[in-house]
Amino acid sequence: MIIKESLFIKSASALKDLPVDGLPEFAFIGRSNVGKSSLMNMVLGRKGLVKTSKKPGKTVLLNYFLVNSCFYFVDLPGYGFAARSKTEREAWRKLIELYLLKRNEIQDVFLLIDSRHGVMDNDQEMIDFLDHHKIEFTPVFTKADKISKNMINMIKNKNPGCPVVSAVTGLGKEEFLNMIGDQLYGRNRTGESE
């Protein structure tokens, strides 16, 4: 899978504002600060395309990026941002749950987990929600530059098929893109993504 082009399309705060072209989409979800926006930039090879922040909670809308004119990356607002008010957290929950339950275009949900911390309570809540509604997802382990090679291997052995990535070193980029290529186009006879 080669990225030829990526383009910011829109930010939406309601399902009625989402694209209507029916293209498949990959949703990036995870705790605030886990590295969703950074991973998107890394795999797209575009440093500043998706806004990243040292301050958690930056992304509060569904942000759509069109890739190769054939699928979308959707940057979802992060959860577990303590400074958000109760009303804001409720609005977040409503938007995310509606999106995950109703949006037929979703091809896969990438659930990002910080390699250093593993699955935390609010990650588990999200996993329970997805499992309960039989929504398929792929765990992706981020910030692998912060852990040892041994730890990386341990995570890989425990979670076969789940990418372990670093937005800093580019680790896992090819595996991540191949996974997307496989999901969209399947594998050709040589076993490589088309």
Binding site for Mg ion (CB under 5 A): 36-37, 59
The DSSP letter of residue 54 is S
Asked if residue 52 binds ligand GTP (CB under 6 A), the reply is yes
Residue 38 touches which of ligand GTP, Mg ion, none (Cβ within 5-8 Å per kind): ligand GTP
Asked if residue 193 binds ligand GTP (CB under 6 A), the reply is no
Distance of CA 24 to the CA centre of its chain: 14
Contact by Cβ (8 Å): 43, 3: yes
Binding track, positions 98-137, relative to ligand GTP; x by CB under 6 A: ----------------------------------------
Asked if residue 63 binds ligand GTP (CB under 6 A), the reply is no
Beta bridge partner(s), residue 25: 72, 106
**For residue 180, which amino acid is it?**
I
Give the 3-state secondary structure of residue 22.
Answer: coil
Residue 193 touches which of ligand GTP, Mg ion, none (Cβ within 5-8 Å per kind): none
Rounded to 5°, the CA angle 122-28-74 comes to 135
Enumerate binding residues for ligand GTP (CB under 6 A): 30, 32-38, 52-54, 56-59, 78, 142-143, 145-146, 166-168
